[in-house]
Structure 1
């Protein structure tokens, strides 16, 4: 794994200068033009992206080395299995075309459970490149995973520091079910859109935050998490701005009412548009929920999840994926409480809390709960802070052990576990 920091040693400036720089840098980054900010973020993020690429390549290589003649090919496992089959079929034939053998139980609207942005990207890529749709789907996911890792780094650096951001990026690359980040699934695209939307919101670029949140709402049903985060953050900023204007505190500052109201109006558009379209196709405003019920996915407030977590302690035998899923859910709940105690920005807390509520409150697919929590990267910040504060030898030893465990678990998910990761 690349070193965490590569800056050359230099004589530290006086304390007053260091303090001045710490206070000036975030403000400059927030006020500067977006392209300049992105260039600066890219120049600082390369160690994190290199480390992320290394751990993900290690995970894929381990699967390739452990596979034997009885297993599907590596290309099939990464780009042509489980949900990837539906996305490529939608990209090639659309939603209305029948899908023989795969929708026998869910009915004619079964493909409408899959949101449209990822298939649209696959279709666009297939139009431009002379490649099969499955290969394009995998390529889109890989590029999106790198953009997502960059977004994770950018957000965490903004709310913590560079070292913590690098560690958080690596942790995202080795989280439970991180193997999905190297597959033709929506998690990479979704996390990239959410991370950069949150980054824009933290920098008060409200129109950008709203547009990206709207696109995230066209990617997964849990897009409601980033929509809620951006809308609530924009409304709170609008409220505080009006209050300061009334008291004269904002005198001389530019009026942000327009961008804030634009974010509030634009952010929910994608999510509501898809629900409305599926309702129209089904002839019932509850159409999307009915499609999900046919897939065995409902919302019961957490009763199903609680019973499955209890089963880990009360029932035997137990498979590895159930144990990891239960541990991930419990750890996510505890970590969210720590995030609140550490006073993360409200926009991150709302986003992570909504994702946690959706994952824990949903009934069905317990084996995928850890995957559903992959986009909730703000939950990694407390662990990243602790590791970044440790001695380098301790940090590298712990991260190295975690990388090994994650790689082994990825092999288990791909070659042993018989269901979708």
Structure 2
């Protein structure tokens, strides 16, 4: 490991002998560590974009996205909108803070390892941005940012993105991004080439599959655990076996200017463990009308096959072009995690839908990694009162078998993990595919 990574010793008792129901005061300085049978879903907030780290019931690990955006470029292009600064400080990059976080979550005797790393789509707040001063890799001919920086320090066994190994959807991406001078994507291709030359696995997500992402250590002990690949590019699971259908067609995705939008092409997963179901879909879009083509709404066909879940992330950080009425109604989550970094997150219409009563008359519990003060002023006190938490890492911890789960909010203003609050336990509802 590089010498700038400082491992923090979390002072806790032996979790195997303790209950999650114990008073949270016992863990004010740290988090009870993961133990076998539990599933952890860590929504990491660095200010650089999305990053979600999973520890599956048998210890298999997965990272979904590793954002490290260029805040200066954002401010210049999109001001007066505000981007979130790096957390806890700008002394490290977002990628380095993700590494630091993962190192704290890994338990001996296993060293920090990412069994699966997924990149939902090719935007900087999901996989990195090559800045002028980005360091060069010591292992290959590419620079370090986001996912490439994490791979420099934590082994990634299988890298999965939306279009490997061909990178030809909706057109030749190398040619396209060379034309548009996207050095980050070209750097990512150099990283992929390095992995392939060294016999390291790189795959495209196979829509419909439920065996591409598997438990690696003791799958037979957890037969109710499954990762279903719901969507990749324009291909969506039908909800039956591993069958898929083509929703987005290449010839219709290109604008008159020869450009296309990455967001509707995002990967989507449904992760199930017993009665617990969780959905994540990158920057999927769902806005209808307003002169938009019909295919811009990828949320509705996805929501129809996903069905009800216990918890979901907000597509596209809660922007107004996503989390449409069908998505909220059909998934009907009890817990919502908003991975937000901009002052226009969430869109007001999105919040109205989330704040509405559920069919059973109950309200949803909404947790955000960061809500700007300007957003609170613009949307008012009724908005702030509806959130369980508006700042910090958000951990969903699912109990063995998936019958119940809890939500921890964690302080992101310090380098060591500290529990701010605990919510739950929530009770999962038995709903199978």
Higher helix content, 1 or 2? 1
TM-score by length of 2: 0.29
TM-score by length of 1: 0.30
Which of 1 and 2 has higher RCO (CA within 8 Å, sep 6+)? Answer: 1
Higher strand content, 1 or 2? 2
